[in-house]
Structures are given as structure tokens and as C-alpha cells.
Amino acid sequence: MSQPLLHVMIPAYGNSTYLRKTLESATKYLSKEVLISVVEDPHPDFNLQEIVDEFPQVTYFKNSQRLGVGGNFNKCIELSQGVFTQICGSDDVFISNPLNFLKEEVTNNFDISAIGFDANIIDKFNKKSIKLPDVIKFLLRPRLKKVSIFENKKIFNSLMIGDWLYFPAILWRTKHIKEIKFSGNFHTAMDLDILIRIIKENKKICFVKEKTINYRRHSESASSLYAKSIGRFEEEYFCHKVAVDIAREKNWLVGTFLAKLAITIRLHALLQAFLIFPKSPKTSSQIFKLAFKVID
């Protein structure tokens, strides 16, 4: 039996209010040859197996102990049977099958470790919603062809200006990510971290200009809650520190400068410090200071 081209993994934890909608869309839009699994990190008050059992096409795994975000992502990669693995949030919604847009020039290029797709942004009411971060992402991304296989120096420089990709809309080449692994130390910046480490290993990043998923932004999501803390910015600064070392190693002068500059992170930190000041002056002060941190 040949290896499935894609295995969609849905890590879940806690209440996972939107999981049923995610599974309804996955089973509706993904073809039969796409494997779908939910990997639940245990929570003392919730068990999601009953929801998953409503969908015979979907397999269910439960970790024996809490692994955390990065740890559960690595578990998803470990369990994946696909050539590619898509790690979709338990609140996101499929709108088409990514396999419909993949060409052999991409799937058979074994240097490609990550394939990004476009995404719509929706709110908790399933309505399209464009927030400031999404406007910035759109403005930051480079000029794209229908299918873009990036030169490593070019995509590195682009990511150092700002990470414009949407994590749930990325297909990861399973074999490569099993070797590189997601960092267990991150909550929100694991995509930027692993993308720059893909580049370090001289692997490729590709982008297909097709929308395959609705990415849900809502105030209850883990990423939204964590975005208001200093930890989010500390993670991003650490990524840029690693990126500086990579750029120096490859003698990329512009890349080194952009990694040190971290312009969108600094501007975002200043904006966030201003917004949370009335409620959290101490945290606001910490984030403000971080915005001027020297990366070397």
C-alpha cells in the first residue's frame, strides 16, 4: 500500500468549542485518501473522544500525559502516516482540499520541507474578519506566483521582516520535521522557529496561492491570550537571535541586519505595551523595554 500524500492532524486540549465544526469541514472537503486524526492532550475536565467518534473517517489519539503545545505538535508529526502533515487548529475550518492544488514539481521536490497556502480569516461567529495583524501579514509577503519555490536567502529576509505565513495552512514534509522537530519551549512562535531552522538545513519553503482554510481569530484562543503577555515577544526575540547566527554562518549580510532589526516585532511590542498599559502597567513596562532590546 502506497503512503498517503497528506495526513491532517488536529491537536486539541480542553473545551475545544469549535472542534465539531473543524471536523465537519475536514470530512466534507478533504478527499478519502487524506487521513484525519485528532490528538488530544489530556485535561482533567474534558474528554473529546465523544465528539471525534461522531466522525468515522477520523481517528482519535489521547496522550498519556500533558505534552503542551510544542510537545503535542511533535506527537502529531510522530503519529503522521502522510508524506506531508498539516497541523490544523481545533478551531479552524477547511474550505477546500489542498491536494487539489499540489503539482508534482512540488510534491516530488524532496528539498521542499514546508508548503504554505493562503487563508481566509474568520471570527468566532464564522464571519470573515480582517484584523491589523492580517493587514500587516498581507503587506509583508513578497510578490507571489501561483506556485512559488523560494530561494532560501530571499524567504529568510522576508521572514525577518515579518512572518506572513499562517501556521494551520502549512503542509510539512513529515520526514524532515521528524528530524528537525518543533520546539517544546514555544507557545506561539514555533512556526517562525522551525521555518528558519528549515532554511538552516538548506531545505526549501514553497507557497501555493490558493485558499484552503479559514483561520479563526478569537479572544479565547490560546494564541490570542498569550499574545498579551511578554512571553510571546520573548519567543520572537529568541527566534531572531537564532536567525542572526544562521545568517552570519551563511554570510548573509542583509539577513543579519534584518534579523537584528526585527522591525515588526518591535513595532508590535510598542503597540501592545500601549494597549495594555491601563490594565497591566507592569507588563506594559516590561514589553516596552523589550521593544528596544539589542539582538546580537
**249-280: per-residue pLDDT in tens?**
999 999 999 999 999 999 999 999 999 988 88
**Amino acid 221: pLDDT:** 58
Cell numbers given for 289: 523595554
- Give CATH superfamily name and number for 6-218: Spore Coat Polysaccharide Biosynthesis Protein SpsA; Chain A (3.90.550.10)
Domain definitions of the chain by residue range: 6-218, 229-290
Cell numbers given for 226: 498569550
User: Among candidates 187, 188, 190, which has minimal Cα distance to 177?
Assistant: 190
pLDDT surpasses 80 at 229: no
**Amino acid 226: pLDDT:** 56
- Give the residue-averaged pLDDT of 34-41: 98
The residues pairing with 149 across neighbouring beta strands, listed in sequence order, are 206
Contact assessment for residue 115 and residue 87, using Cβ atoms and an 8 Å cutoff = no
Q: Identify which has the larger pLDDT, 228 or 47.
A: 47
pLDDT digits (tens, 9 = 90+) for 51-68: 999 999 999 999 999 999
Instruction: Record the pTM.
Output: 0.94
pLDDT surpasses 90 at 223: no
**Amino acid 188: pLDDT:** 86
Radius of gyration of the chain (CA): 19
pLDDT band at 225 (very low <50, low <70, confident <90, very high): low
pLDDT surpasses 80 at 126: yes
**Amino acid 130: pLDDT:** 87
**Do β-strands 84-87 and 170-173 pair in parallel, antiparallel, or remain unpaired?**
antiparallel
Q: For a pLDDT cut of 90, what percent of the chain falls above it? A: 89
The residues pairing with 13 across neighbouring beta strands, listed in sequence order, are 41
**Amino acid 193: pLDDT:** 97
Contact assessment for residue 268 and residue 236, using Cβ atoms and an 8 Å cutoff = no
Q: How distant, in Å, are the alpha carbons of 17, 61, 108, 169, 217 from that of 124?
A: 10, 26, 38, 18, 7
From first CA to last CA, the distance across the chain in angstroms is 50
Contacts of 191 (CB under 8 A, 6+ apart): 163, 165, 167, 170
Q: Identify which has the larger pLDDT, 224 or 16.
A: 16
pLDDT band at 23 (very low <50, low <70, confident <90, very high): very high
Contact assessment for residue 123 and residue 217, using Cβ atoms and an 8 Å cutoff = yes
pLDDT digits (tens, 9 = 90+) for 64-107: 999 999 999 999 999 999 999 999 999 999 999 999 999 999 99
pLDDT digits (tens, 9 = 90+) for 145-185: 999 999 999 999 999 999 999 999 999 999 999 999 999 88
- Half-sphere exposure of residue 213, counting CA atoms within 13 Å on the CB side? 28
**Mean pLDDT of the chain, nearest integer:** 94
User: Among candidates 140, 137, 126, which has minimal Cα distance to 167?
Assistant: 137
SS in 3 state form for 45-74?
CECCHHHHCCCCCEEEEECCCCCHHHHHHH
Q: At what angle do helices 190-200 and 68-79 cross, to 10 degrees?
A: 50
Contact assessment for residue 194 and residue 183, using Cβ atoms and an 8 Å cutoff = yes
224: left (phi over 0), alpha (psi -120 to 50) or beta: alpha
State which of 65-74, 228-237, 245-254, 285-294 shows the largest mean pLDDT: 245-254
Q: For a pLDDT cut of 70, what percent of the chain falls above it? A: 96
**Amino acid 63: pLDDT:** 97
- Half-sphere exposure of residue 100, counting CA atoms within 13 Å on the CB side? 11
Alpha-carbon dihedral 228, 229, 235, 237, rounded to 10 degrees: 80
